[in-house]
Amino acid sequence: MIKNSILIVDDVPMILQFISAMLANQGYQVHLATDGKMALKFADETLPDLILLDIHMPGMDGYETCERLKANEKTRDIPVIFVSALDDTFDKVKAFSIGGVDYITKPFEIKEVLVRIKTHLSLRNLQKRLEEKNKQLEAYARQLEELQQERLYLLNQAYERFVPHQLLELLGKKSVVDINLGDQIEREMTILFSDIRGFTSISEKMTPQDNFDFINTYVGQMEPIIHQHKGIIDKYIGDAIMALFPYGADDAVNSAIAMLKKLGRYNQILQTAGLPAIKIGIGIHTGTMMLGTIGGQKRMDSTVISDAVNIASRLEDLTKTYGTPLLISEATYLKLSDTLKPNTRLLACERVKGKSKYINIFEVFSTDSQEM
């Protein structure tokens, strides 16, 4: 068991020896100082558990010594008991006002002094234990906060595979756990639909496992391209991809062009493996949309609600009719930069299925061969 250390400060050697012997007999570790300057130096270096401090000393008196102890961040919590022959109320009030915890008048009763010292040391030891517990609690709190942050990060990483982080940013959310049913925003975006041509007949020749492997391999080729062009994959519908481009029509069209170029290289791999080459159709439209969450309390999903979605889906379907892989609406064409417009041409004026409105549609032929 570690002994409590006590620093005795007095300029009278006889008193130092007497108090020192008295405390040593009680098992305390005793240190001596004959003036305030020596006391301050020793306290700063060793941090005793308690200080017995005389008031009248040459040079620096006990009051000034106590004030300096309390001004020092290292020693300010050490309890100071004044021991003095002064018995005036004024002296006692001053001693307590500058930070003393007790005042013993000389001559003193030994038993009383020992009881007071023991009481203040018990309080000091309790304070130390509380401080240590507080430090432990603070450390635990930091560890818990770090674990919570790590858990939230891992949770977000996992959910990003289902809820893109770009969607969180658009909805003004920091984490997927902050999303609530009905959260929504309205803004102009460009929407892209792509679909594999004749996939039904292709899939009929495959096992269910082969179907999933084929689709996942194909999507694995296209997903990075969409992300590279600041797109958000809203959902996969079988072999179809629905993606949103919130930052401009150029992103969507450049993404579609890159997807078609990637498909050409992917088809070479398929043919080398003895598999049939595939074709895709892409439809793109720009308009105002409501992006948000729908569903119930136990199951919800992000989605886009707008006529623009139907138009983009219809344009993708029309690629079959016109025999071209990439069609865009006039609304998208008007939003394109001048660098992309030269590789487009007005193709037709079509009525959107289920609507009475006609729209102009444009073909993007950037991926056609030079001969075409």
Residue 198: pLDDT band (50, 70, 90) is: confident
Per-residue model confidence (pLDDT) at position 326:
95
Q: pLDDT tens, 111-135? A: 888 898 899 888 888 888 888 898 8
Dihedral sign, Cα of residue 303, residue 309, residue 310, residue 315: negative
Stated as kind and residue range, the H or E segment containing 366 is: none
Given a cut of 80, whether residue 5 has pLDDT beyond it is yes
Per-residue model confidence (pLDDT) at position 292:
59
Closest CA to 188 of 231, 241, 245: 245
Given a cut of 60, whether residue 1 has pLDDT beyond it is no
pTM exceeds 0.85: no
Q: pLDDT tens, 253-277? A: 999 999 999 999 999 988 888 877 8
In the chain the domains, ranked by start, together with CATH numbers, are: 5-133 (3.40.50.2300), 169-364 (3.30.70.1230)
Closest CA to 182 of 297, 285, 293, 101: 293
Per-residue model confidence (pLDDT) at position 87:
83
Per-residue model confidence (pLDDT) at position 125:
85
| Average pLDDT for the chain | 84
As a whole-number percent, the residues of the chain with pLDDT over 90 amount to 38
Q: Which of 11-15, 289-293, 317-321, 325-329 has the lowest mean pLDDT?
A: 289-293
Given a cut of 80, whether residue 172 has pLDDT beyond it is no
Judge whether 9 and 65 are in contact, CB under 8 Å.
yes
Per-residue model confidence (pLDDT) at position 371:
80
Closest CA to 169 of 157, 179, 159: 179
Per-residue model confidence (pLDDT) at position 158:
53
Phi/psi of residue 245, nearest 5 degrees:
-125, 95
Q: What is the DSSP letter of 238?
A: T
Residue 42: pLDDT band (50, 70, 90) is: very high
Q: Which amino acid is at 22?
A: M
Q: What is the mean pLDDT of residues 238-245?
A: 89
- Max mean pLDDT range (158-162, 194-198, 225-229): 225-229
Dihedral sign, Cα of residue 167, residue 172, residue 175, residue 181: negative
Q: What is the DSSP letter of 106?
A: S
User: Which residues contact residue 151 at a Cβ distance below 8 angstroms, ignoring those fewer than 6 apart?
Assistant: none
Given a cut of 70, whether residue 94 has pLDDT beyond it is yes
C-alpha distances (whole Å) from 210 to each of 159, 196, 206, 217, 277 are: 26, 16, 6, 10, 16
